[in-house]
A and B are shown apart, each in its own frame.
Chain A
Amino acid sequence: MANALRDVAIVGVAESDLGRVPDKSKFQLSAEASRLALDDAGLSVKDVDGLFTTIITEGGQFSSMMMAEYMGITPRFTDSTSIGGSSFVVYVEHAAMAIAAGLCDVALICHGSTNISDRGGKGGPVSQSTEVFGPTQFEEPYGVSTVGSYALAAQRHMHEYGTTSEQLAEIAVATRKWASLNPKARMRDPITIDDVMNSRVIASPLHLLDCCLVTDAGGAVVLTSLERARDLKKAPVRVLGAGEAHTHRMISQMPDLTQTAAAISGKLAFERSGLTHADIDVAEIYDSFTITVLLTLESLGFCAKGEGGAFVANQRTAPGGDFPMNTQGGALSYTHPGMFGIFTIIEAVRQVRGECDNRQVPGARIALCNGTGGTLSSTGTIILGRD
């Protein structure tokens, strides 16, 4: 499988309008990002014969059929795997597999969401449901939320390993520094550890600035065979390795609150790529919350379990640090439309192509992306490299 994946490349990436886009639907954002990603590749919508998408909010049923119809695509390979924000990273593995097997030639992964406009321009809760059917009836009546779930993991990690809020804040501060270098990032003003510590507690021990943004956004990624890729507009970015896994749906069922499925998907991605941690020049790690990053770095094996706090200390992941991470400003400071996975891929591709202007990691050839979905439930890990 490793060899087959290597014969596939990402050839186009793009974002739609980002931030607050009240005059465009999530479908339009997804489709416009798709058009721009196809332009980036030098391909047209007529070339697309594989479609990978999911919408988890209102109007998203039968997502891949709906988006194919919306854009006038008749795919012969279709995938609406819906495992949260990691879905789009996992689609890279699925698309590479389909292309390598000859099941489709040009795969389009797309995503659009009007997460902030849907809430009338405000963050915070949207749930108004009164009756819960299915297993989530063992969580929702107790006031579970996304931030509450991640807070449970943070609290447990602090208890087991002595991790501190200051260490989590290091991640938010470093990520903001990257955002300040990205004109497309929503939050660009520098922040300090104290700013994070003094922001209000949403769900202890997580503060407001430990949490991702809520925005509207669309993104798209186009893949094809390496052979075809070499004739296209941009330098191909090869899929060197990939892995996926999920360990639970509900946080109450998570086997170990301090380890994510990245321990499985990351191991697979490294094994299949034949690469080691030292080969990674830049990492794009899904940062729904600061704790998500810390758990993921440990689970991927960049440091030992429990050592994530020390690993990110002293602004190691910031511009100029020796572990460049979340270089577009992440979900914490750049954009986060409810599911962030596709944006980790877009940035990784741009870094490996050398397109990132003043936030470019010098000489970056190999990038790792890790998406996390649900409540620390699912992960997809991919390793991408310059051809």
Chain B
Amino acid sequence: MALPPLPRPYQDTAAYWQAAREHRFIIQKCSDCGEYQFYPRGVCSHCLSSALDWQEASGKGEVYSFSINYRAPHPGFAEQTPFVLALVTLAEGPRMMTNIVDCDPEAVKIGMAVTVTFDDVTEEVTLPKFRPA
């Protein structure tokens, strides 16, 4: 069975993916300007500071937009198609791409409250996804 493309952790992102493996959802907060950001970077995208802290996020958010995808963009998605591609606005503010899982795709709505869940895709890689809250 083909796997979807999976992240290769690097300097900016290793801590995030390690936490995901441990079923923890962490995001970065800037110690200088106080803004949260997603995705993880080596600097703050609001003020360019390198003083970033990892914070345990609430794991709560709401659907900003979504699309039910009927065509697999890669052989690794063949078995899960149709799937829900979504943008979720986290309670902390930043937006991220994810999948909405554990529900009928037709039931997904913009504004729907969702909460993080962890998909252990392989022994090394866990993807944070979201399900109805």
Contact = CB atoms under 8 A, between A and B. Distances in A.
Interface of A: 124-125, 127-135, 137-145, 147-148, 151-156, 159, 200-206, 250-253, 257
A152 to B, nearest CB: 4
Nearest to B3: A130
19 contacts: A131-B6, A131-B8, A137-B13, A141-B4, A143-B4, A143-B72, A144-B73, A145-B73, A148-B67, A152-B65, A152-B85, A155-B67, A155-B110, A156-B64, A156-B65, A201-B68, A202-B71, A203-B70, A204-B68
The 4 closest A-B pairs by CB, nearest first: A137-B7, A151-B67, A145-B73, A252-B97
Contacts of A135: 39, 41
Nearest to A205: B67
Nearest to B88: A252
Contacts of B98: 142
Contacts, number: 127
A155 B86 CA distance: 10
B71 A124 contact: yes
A125 B97 contact: no
A315 B74 CA distance: 36
Nearest to A139: B97
Given A137-B13, A155-B65, A203-B67, A143 B8 contact: no
Contact of A156 (B41, B70, B110, B127): B110
- Among B70, B75, B87, residue most surrounded by chain A Cβ atoms (within 10 Å): B87
B72 A125 contact: yes
Contacts of B66: 152, 155
A143 B83 contact: yes
A203 B71 contact: yes
Interface majority SS (helix, strand, loop, mixed), chain A: mixed
B6 A132 contact: yes
Interface in B46-75: 64-75
Contact of A153 (B5, B65, B70): B65
A321 B68 CA distance: 34
B8 A148 contact: no
B18 interface: no
Contact of A152 (B3, B10, B13, B87): B87
B75 A142 contact: no
A141 B127 contact: yes
Contacts of A159: 65, 110-111
Given A130-B5, A137-B8, A148-B85, A142 B71 contact: no
Interface size band for B: 35 or more
Contacts of B95: 252-253
B77 interface: yes
Given A131-B8, A139-B97, A152 B67 contact: yes
A305 to B, nearest CB: 16
Contacts of B71: 124-125, 145, 147, 202-203
A142 B85 contact: yes
Contact of A143 (B7, B38, B69): B69
A138 B70 contact: no
A127 B73 contact: yes
Contacts of A154: 67
B99 interface: yes
Contacts of A155: 65-67, 110
Contacts of A145: 69, 71, 73
Given A130-B5, A143-B77, A155-B66, 14 more contacts: A125-B72, A127-B5, A130-B6, A132-B7, A133-B8, A138-B96, A141-B6, A143-B80, A147-B71, A159-B110, A159-B111, A202-B69, A252-B95, A252-B97
A153 B5 CA distance: 23
A131 B70 CA distance: 23
Contacts of B67: 148, 151-152, 154-155, 203-206
A154 B87 CA distance: 13
A159 B13 CA distance: 33
A250 B99 CA distance: 16
Contact of B97 (A142, A200, A206): A142
Contacts of B69: 143, 145, 148, 151, 202-204
A125 B70 contact: no
B22 to A, nearest CB: 18
Contacts of B65: 152-153, 155-156, 159, 257
A179 B74 CA distance: 31
